[in-house]
Amino acid sequence: MNSPGKGKATGHFVLIPLMAQGHMIPMVDIARLLAARGVLTSLITTPLNAARFTRSVEEAQASGLPIRLVELPFPCREAGLPEGCESLDTLPSKELIINFFKATAMLRPTVDEYLSNLEIPASCIISDMGLPWTGSTAKKLGIPRLIFHGTCCFSLLCVLMVRKSEVYESVATDHEPFAVPGIPHRIEVTRVQLPSNFAMKSSMKGLSDEILESEAAASGVVVNSFNDLERGYTELYEDAIGKKVWTIGPTFQSNKSVPHSRKREQDLGDEDLCLGWLDERAPRSVVYVSFGSLARFSFEQLVGIGLGLEASNYPFIWVIRAANVTAQMEEWLTGGFEERTKGRSLIIRGWAPQVLILSHPSIGGFMTHCGWNSTLEGINAGIPMITWPMFADQFLNEKLVVEMAQVGVGVGVKSPSVWQDEKPGASVTKEEVQSAVERLMDQGEEGEARRNRARDLRERAKSAMEKGGSSYTNLTLLIEEMTNYSS
């Protein structure tokens, strides 16, 4: 366990993120934001997950912030997981997902014991929606529990209205579009494009029911978004659930310096190589392609992506997740593709310093899976996006980007594919990839209007986090309410 910083603290917030890269990153950022306001903040996770963020927390402690990282053992063996599978992105197959959530629930006795013996009692718990047992922990301690969803109010409200209305029951097939009821804009989705936990009929249904019950008992919701992006959906979602919703993002703006941005991403990519390569490219000329920590593609689909990028004739950085770099894929890359695109391509196998890359002036477009962290990072950088959703909230996030904010171009994906390596072939063709890139990078009137809207959102995101901005004010009110409750 790391020691807290020396700064005087007001209140004690305990943060418990779901053990997954995309869920932990914003929670670490929230911890920094709270600590920067003088709140003692404890971030509870497991050893291998803690290792990813140790440098970030140590840097915060060195600057005097009252933040600490609490490491608790993860019961891999007891839950039937391979040793070392402490994060969703380390699971070798989807069949182990239920074992993973079983392991997270087995953490409760250890967490309860730790929190019951704190020298400075917790004022509240902020925990991931995927950890419903933390609601019982908060009740036992007599403190409020706030839910962190890891997506936006727009997507949360759409799922809620579909669930309440059961409109999905009236369509004939999983792929028949229907309008989301009870919202001010016409948004059409299909059953397969909704997050799987809204109407689960599988082995995960028990967990889904627990999550819904836990949400009903929670004291409020914390959202990594900002009001100007949500276009009134914060208030609509708040009214729908009858609880306070605090939008406090983009939370990664807590990372004001480049050195810290590097520590936040734990040097997961060679930033000197990336930034040096970008320095040699013209402004707004490069397409950045990355699909997050969980997406798995078939070899055929990866080839389709590569050929589409090649045919577009635009420079590109392509991040290929390590699990996708098979021997076959490596042979294809080195067997001609990298040579043919030499001088205008940078292939990164594994992780890349995404926030740094997106903020570089040479980046002109971002091909993304529409995970909320990546979506918000693209918005914060003022970069138009090519949307390629895969699962969970991503199809709804795409609606926000393409139809509501009008800062994106869809590549044409209609069905989810989180474990796409189990499916042969490619769902998106080379021609569709090429067309989406060319449309996004278009220098005509349509492209320029899209870029202007993206730049406007960037300024609004920045303003939201500054003193007096909506997210800054919401964080102040959140701290005041939770500390007053505990007092």
Given a cut of 50, whether residue 485 has pLDDT beyond it is yes
260 pLDDT band, cuts 50/70/90, is very low
3-state secondary structure of 124: strand
Structure confidence at residue 9 (pLDDT): 54
Structure confidence at residue 268 (pLDDT): 44
Structure confidence at residue 420 (pLDDT): 45
Q: Enter the tokens of residue 331.
A: 């042979």
Q: Which position has the higher pLDDT, 293 or 134?
A: 134
Structure confidence at residue 198 (pLDDT): 53
E strands, 115-159, in order = 124-128, 145-148
CA gap 476, 108 in Å, rounded: 30
Question: CA–CA distance from 131 to each of 126, 158, 233, 333, 378 (Å)?
Answer: 10, 22, 25, 40, 28
Average the pLDDT over 128-137 and give the result: 97
pLDDT digits (tens, 9 = 90+) for 152-167: 999 999 999 999 999 9
Q: Percentage of residues in the chain with pLDDT exceeding 70?
A: 91
**456 burial via Cβ count (<10 Å: 0-12, 13-18, 19+):** middle
C-beta atoms surrounding 468 within 10 Å = 8
240 pLDDT band, cuts 50/70/90, is very high
Cα angle: 416, vertex 151, 232; to 5 degrees: 115
Average the pLDDT over 104-119 and give the result: 96
429 pLDDT band, cuts 50/70/90, is very high
Please state, rounded to an integer, the average pLDDT across all residues of the chain: 91
Structure confidence at residue 95 (pLDDT): 87
Given a cut of 60, whether residue 470 has pLDDT beyond it is yes
Least confident of 226-235, 284-293, 417-426, 451-460: 417-426
Given a cut of 50, whether residue 41 has pLDDT beyond it is yes
Say which DSSP state 390 is in. Answer: -
Average the pLDDT over 327-339 and give the result: 97
C-beta atoms surrounding 73 within 10 Å = 10
Structure confidence at residue 200 (pLDDT): 45
CA gap 131, 210 in Å, rounded: 9
Q: Enter the tokens of residue 211.
A: 């999550």
Say which DSSP state 401 is in. Answer: I
Given a cut of 80, whether residue 196 has pLDDT beyond it is no
Structure confidence at residue 423 (pLDDT): 52
Token pair 């209305």 is at which residue? 165
Structure confidence at residue 173 (pLDDT): 92
CA-CA-CA-CA torsion sign (218, 219, 222, 226): positive
Average the pLDDT over 309-332 and give the result: 95
- The residue among 433, 389, 381, 428 whose CA lies nearest residue 407 is 381
Given a cut of 90, whether residue 270 has pLDDT beyond it is no
Structure confidence at residue 203 (pLDDT): 61
CA-CA-CA-CA torsion sign (184, 186, 190, 194): negative
CA gap 482, 405 in Å, rounded: 33
CA gap 255, 417 in Å, rounded: 32
Structure confidence at residue 266 (pLDDT): 45
Average the pLDDT over 317-321 and give the result: 96
87 pLDDT band, cuts 50/70/90, is very high
Given a cut of 80, whether residue 62 has pLDDT beyond it is yes
C-beta atoms surrounding 412 within 10 Å = 14
Given a cut of 80, whether residue 56 has pLDDT beyond it is yes
CA gap 183, 60 in Å, rounded: 41
Structure confidence at residue 346 (pLDDT): 97
Average the pLDDT over 72-81 and give the result: 96
β-pairing, 385-387 vs 316-320, is unpaired
Q: Give all domains of the chain, ordered by start, each with its CATH number.
A: 12-254+466-486 (3.40.50.2000), 268-461 (3.40.50.2000)
Given a cut of 80, whether residue 4 has pLDDT beyond it is no
Q: Percentage of residues in the chain with pLDDT exceeding 90?
A: 79
**335 burial via Cβ count (<10 Å: 0-12, 13-18, 19+):** exposed
CA gap 197, 146 in Å, rounded: 20
CA-CA-CA-CA torsion sign (164, 147, 149, 228): positive
Q: Is 396 left (phi over 0), alpha (psi -120 to 50) or beta?
A: alpha
Q: Which position has the higher pLDDT, 295 or 286?
A: 286
- The residue among 357, 353, 385 whose CA lies nearest residue 371 is 385
Given a cut of 80, whether residue 254 has pLDDT beyond it is no
E strands, 27-144, in order = 40-45, 67-71, 124-128
pLDDT digits (tens, 9 = 90+) for 362-399: 999 999 999 999 999 999 999 999 999 998 899 999 99
3-state secondary structure 293-351: CCCECCHHHHHHHHHHHHHHCCCEEEEECHHHCCHHHHHHHHHHHHHHCCCCEEEEECC
Q: Which position has the higher pLDDT, 441 or 270?
A: 441
Average the pLDDT over 265-289 and give the result: 83
